[in-house]
Amino acid sequence: MEQENYKVRAEELRKQIEYHSNRYYNMDDPEITDYEYDMMMQELKKLEKEHPELVIPDSPTQKVGGTAKRTAGVLVRHNVPMLSLQDVFSKEEVYEFVHEMQEQLENPEFVVEYKIDGLSMALRYEEGELKLAVTRGDGIIQGEDVTANARVISDVKKKLKQPLPYIEIRGEVYMKNADFEKVNETQEMLGKKTFANPRNCAAGTLRQLDSRITKERKLSMFVFNVQEVRGHEFKTHVEGYEYLKKQGVPVIEDYRVCHTADEVWDAICKIGENRGNLSYDIDGAVVKLNSIADRQKLGATSKVPRWAIAYKYPPEEKETKLLDIELSVGRTGRITPTAIFEPIRLCGTSVSRATLHNQDFINTLDVGIGDTIVVYKSGEIIPKIKEVRKEKRPADWQRFQIPDTCPVCGAKTVREKDTADIRCVSPDCPAQLERHIINFVGRDAMDIKGFGAVYVTELVRLGYIHDIADIYVLKNHREELIEQGIIGKEKNTDKLLDAIEQSKQNEPFRLLTGFGIQNVGKAAAKAIMRQFKSIDALAKADREQLLEVNDIGEVSAECILDYFASEKNQKILERLREYGLTMELAEDDTVGDLLAGLTIVVTGTLPNLGRKEAQELIEKNGGKAAGSVSKKTSYVLAGENAGSKLTKAEQLGIPVITEEEFLHMIQKDA
């Protein structure tokens, strides 16, 4: 390869790595596997090593982690950098590291332990009390304050039994596979996007603004290092672990102290053999020096410590035969194909299913029943189909085609314009009922506390619920429900029935959201109700009137018209009205027009108003409260610690206002 070609390839790799790094660290939505990312990074490192003139200051090889985002809290400066580790991929590289350490140090000890696939977090304790939890962020300067969310993770100790003046510990926040599966089941039932793997789910959950969601999703944490300590001295890494275990702090399991390269490699192999038996994902093994003095002597580069490496296991993949393609129907009618194949063992577990996403994915993969497929599982719980062995396909092979009728109810299916989704549009399709009810009682819609997916499934299965209106006659079956123990004993049953009764007073936008009209989510429902004031007025609206609403386009308008034109839905609406649900805005809820046409983003801590309160005032005065800054933003209402949204507003030249200026804007006599 000529010099110019080396330069072009290096630039190409940097762009790809930056793109995928942003999706992994900052969006929690990767498009490629860890292994594919690692291979790109290795190729770039090799190019830069062989051609030093290609190295530039902002190359991904010179950076640590992602950027620090202000999502769950304010940004916090690191007391101790949270560096990444140097990745190695072969036995030779492991031996090279061990021999290097032995040449520089006298009889070094090594600790080999699991490399958990999660999100790094540091915990700071003062006099034994948890004071701060911070994510890795950029790894060098700052991370995000996630203390409120850390406090609801059961593995995070709020108080240490044997307090020290100060200690900072670093660990990995992760999600157990069983907990991850439950989260994705709930996401699927609600018609929401599922998470690609436990790591991404854990990262998104730790950054949640609502700590209740963090608590519900059951994050876990292992601590793998003492970052800094005052008032005490640990001579070795293992001593630090022993202290933490006495405090009830979970540390990395089954670590092993080694003295030779053979022992280190044997420990790595043992971890690799056992990883399929763990209840969580690991993506490698870490080899680190045990002696703290040796670590301090060697120090670190700008990117990695010199005293540790991470061995990354190669992805495991196997051939198997595709036996069938199963079709399931979600809440919105979307049909999802799932590959059913001869069971194989990957990473120690038996797998026999993998999603095929949609018809476009099937076409690209060029797959049909009877094909020999390659399935892989690279540090993830979810098996994926990599490719088809076309040379092994049967003579009577045909590419699979999702039928044009619903596999559950037989109704005609349609492919949505500009999407890959094929849907059943029949309102009577039974497969959609459970998910429809779960959406109706969920937090974004009627928010009926305690009405979980398990209760919905059972009540639908036993014939108590056939549509959303049936929820409000469950009280008539109180004795039966208690007797059968569907919801629990008397106390639990009455608690849920009371919550259902209280939901009748909800604002009408929640009811509209609960209808589950395609393309009408919570934000659109609020905008619609501001315009029409009542569900009845909306039901009588024509296309032109609907298109006058800012958030409503042609597709959404068509969905709304179809919904209210349905005779079945009209009957449900009549019953809901009869049962006393709130169908129109109260006088106090009527919307003014002082902020009509304006989009305002609230960021930071305001002097008097809470963020939710400020957003409600924006909407009550006819404005739109947006969550992110863009060119369409009219103003940014900023308080203390406004962070990245304020920076972006300044870059785009968007006016920034204070709380006082905002309140002046919504005064009628201003």
Catalytically annotated residues: 115
38 a known binding residue?
A: yes
Spatial CA neighbour of 285 closest among 325, 252, 262 = 252
113 is in an annotated binding site: yes
Has 18 been labeled as part of a binding site? no
The answer on whether 288 is annotated among ligand-binding residues is yes
Query: Comparing C-alpha atoms, which of 545, 535, 531, 529 is closest to residue 573?
Result: 535
Strand partners for 600: 625, 635
SS3 557: helix
To the question of whether residue 43 is assigned a binding role by annotation, the answer is no
Is 409 marked as binding a ligand?
yes
Q: Where are the alpha helices (DSSP H) in 448-507?
A: 453-461, 478-484, 490-502
In this structure, what token pair is assigned to residue 482? 């208690």
Instruction: Find out whether 266 is annotated in a ligand binding site.
Output: no
| Residue 37 assigned to a binding site | yes
Q: Residue 269, annotated ligand binder? A: no
E strands, 127-265, are 129-135, 142-144, 166-174, 220-230, 256-258
Element (H, E) at 376: strand 372-377
Cβ(78)–Cβ(140) below 8 Å: yes
Bridge partners for 167 per DSSP: 125, 229
Does the annotation flag 270 for ligand binding? no
- According to DSSP, residue 315 is labeled P
Q: Is 35 annotated as a binding residue?
A: yes
Q: Provide the CB-side half-sphere exposure for 365 (13 A, CA).
A: 28
CA dihedral 526, 531, 535, 536 (to 10 degrees): 180
**Per-residue 3-state assignment (H helix, E strand, C coil) for 45-112:** HHHHHHCHHHCCCCCHHHCCCCCCCCCCCCEEECCCCCCCCEEECCHHHHHHHHHHHHHHCCCCCEEE
Of the candidates 167, 294, 195, 154, the one whose C-alpha atom is nearest the C-alpha of residue 237 is 294
Q: How many CA atoms lie within 13 A of 383 on its CB side?
A: 27
Rg over CA atoms, the chain: 28
Whether 479 has a binding-site annotation, put simply, is no
Q: Which residues are annotated as a binding site for NAD(+)?
A: 34-38, 84-85, 113, 136, 172, 288, 312
Q: Which residues are annotated as a binding site?
A: 34-38, 84-85, 113, 136, 172, 288, 312, 406, 409, 424, 429
Q: Which residues are annotated as a binding site for Zn(2+)?
A: 406, 409, 424, 429
